[in-house]
Structure 1
Amino acid sequence: MKKFLLAVASVVLGTVSAMAADLAPQYTKAPAMAPSYNWTGFYVGANVGGQWGSADPTTSTVFSPTGYFAASSVPAIAAVGAQKVNSSSVTGGLTAGYNWQVNQAVFGLEGDINYFGFKGGATGSAVYPCCAPFSFAVSSQVSADWLATIRGRIGFVATPNWLIYATGGAAIAEVRSNFKFTDTFTVTESAAIRDTRVGWTAGVGSEHAIGGGWSLKAEYLYVDLGRSTATSTNLTAGALQNVFTHSVDLKSNIVRVGVNYKFGGPVVARY
């Protein structure tokens, strides 16, 4: 009987111990905190893409009773001299900037200098209204080799590693234009414009951080460099003279992709 009671007690105690073990609190290790990208910091980068744009060079003159042209020739020259030059090319260059992240907003200042590659020309001709069959011709050449921008950026962090932004500021380029007027009387006139233009630019973009300070971006910019004007009095018609006015403007669309590298900056922990 005593052995039986001892066996029963042993079974009961074992069962209670097992139940106590099951009811004991279970502890698990907290997950490690993963680093979250922060956009604050100085960065440098490079970009490549394409530009397509247009320029509107103009050539005109004025009527003078002692000048070379008949009154009817003045509007005819202006009509032929209102020309259109289209250009497209590969563009690429270097970028540097600084971002400040405040919660989900990112504010930045960015500058870049790029090969622009704008180049093109146009030619038109017509018969003198007063003096058929004699005619005249007007030609224009426009180019801009480089483009620099200084822009502000304001963006929204859609995900910790993905930034969507708008940008705008100043656009700077040297616009070069050459103009020439000729007619079948062998009269010629020419002029050139060399002007470092300060215009404006605006656009939108997206940038994605890929780790180690590196990020990839895609960007669209619209550029308007405004209009430059020059006058000329070098008409080769002996004592007869006419003042010519030449002008040119330049606008362009740019689509490009790039890679940036950010130096330092805080890393925010997240679960």
Structure 2
Amino acid sequence: MNRSILRSALGATALLVFGGAAQAADLYRAPPAVAPAAVPTAIPAYAFNWTGFYVGANLGGRWLQDRGNIAGNPYGLNSTSFVGGLQGGYNYQIGNIVLGLEADVDYGRNSRTSLLATGDQIRTRLDWSGSVRGRAGYAFDRFLVYGTGGLAWANFDTRGTDAAGNTSSSSRTRAGWTVGGGLEYAVTNNVSVRGEYLYADYGSPTISYPGTAVGSHRETLTSHLARIGVNWKF
């Protein structure tokens, strides 16, 4: 009888063990597999980069202001002229910031003659002008907004004629400074167009007319230049 009881106890124990294991297996469910998140293979880059050398041409208008006073007789030799020229330089882009250096030269014929109350005549003419400037701007992809400033130069031809008809003339190059700004747009990866404004100050030199009765005087020379241009980027 003891053996029958022992066998019954062992059978009941086995049933409990295997039944519990089966029930635990039914209760456990493995979590569903999660697909790995997509990782971008590359960071999007700007469609256009301004770094590189360039050359170009421009057309525009130049307004020359020449103000002075001879023996108490003030005068103003203000004149306008169409201009055309060439430019070239180098840009370097860091993020959205664009830094560069540019040189340009323009030709136009600003000329004006003034008759004073004394009967004397004076004339100022500006032909060639140019500059070497630094540029700093902010790029909105293919749009570039920039400021610029540096050294300016211009060739002035002056002439004075007194009431007796004696004439004296001279041609000299004046150096000064210039500041301005502009907007440039890259039409293609090599071609860009722009609009630009520059103000230049050539100081207040003393002008004399040897051999004539026209008195020496100081004149103030400034100019405004507005132009459009096209550049080819290498």
Q: How many residues align?
A: 199
Q: Considering Cα pairs closer than 8 Å and 6+ residues apart, tell me whether 1 or 2 has the greater RCO.
A: 1
Gaps of 5+ in 2: 1-34
Name which of 137, 140, 154 aligns with 1:173.
154
1:84 is displaced (CA, Å) by 0.5
Match of 1:51 in 2: 62
Cα contact 1:221–1:255 (8 A) shared by 2:
yes
Match of 1:42 in 2: 53
**Does residue 220 of structure 2 align to residue 260 of structure 1?**
no
Cα-to-partner distance string for 1:106-165 (whole Å, 9 max, x where unaligned)? 11000011113211111122xxxxxxxxxx3121111011111110000011x2111100
2:203 & 2:226 partners in 1: Cα distance?
Answer: 20
1:224 is displaced (CA, Å) by 1.3
**Does residue 192 of structure 2 align to residue 215 of structure 1?**
yes
Classify 1:212/1:243 alpha carbon distance in 2 versus 1 (closer, same or farther; 3 Å).
Answer: closer
Structure whose alpha-carbon radius of gyration is higher: 2
1:52 is displaced (CA, Å) by 1.7
1:188 is displaced (CA, Å) by 5.5
1:142 & 1:49 partners in 2: Cα distance?
Answer: 21
Matches for 1:102-117 after TM superposition, within 5 Å: 102-117=94-109
**Does residue 225 of structure 2 align to residue 225 of structure 1?**
no
Cα contact 2:110–2:127 (8 A) shared by 1:
yes
Name which of 94, 97, 113 aligns with 2:86.
94
2:134 & 2:45 partners in 1: Cα distance?
Answer: 31
Query: Share of identical aligned residues, percent?
Result: 37
1:35 is displaced (CA, Å) by 6.2
1:243 is displaced (CA, Å) by 8.8
Cα-to-partner distance string for 1:27-64 (whole Å, 9 max, x where unaligned)? x9x999776100110000111111122112443xxxxx
1:247 & 1:191 partners in 2: Cα distance?
Answer: 16
Taking only aligned residues, the RMSD between alpha carbons, in angstroms, comes to 2.6
Q: TM-score, normalised by structure 1?
A: 0.66
Cα contact 2:46–2:141 (8 A) shared by 1:
no
Match of 1:133 in 2: none
1:209 & 1:243 partners in 2: Cα distance?
Answer: 53
Gaps of 5+ in 1: 1-24, 60-77, 126-135, 236-241, 264-271
Cα contact 2:160–2:214 (8 A) shared by 1:
no
1:173 & 1:256 partners in 2: Cα distance?
Answer: 17
1:243 & 1:116 partners in 2: Cα distance?
Answer: 27
Match of 1:118 in 2: 110
Cα-to-partner distance string for 1:155-202 (whole Å, 9 max, x where unaligned)? 011x211110000011111111111221xxxx5654323211111111
1:258 & 1:213 partners in 2: Cα distance?
Answer: 14
Cα-to-partner distance string for 1:210-252 (whole Å, 9 max, x where unaligned)? 11311111101111122332435535xxxxxx79314433211
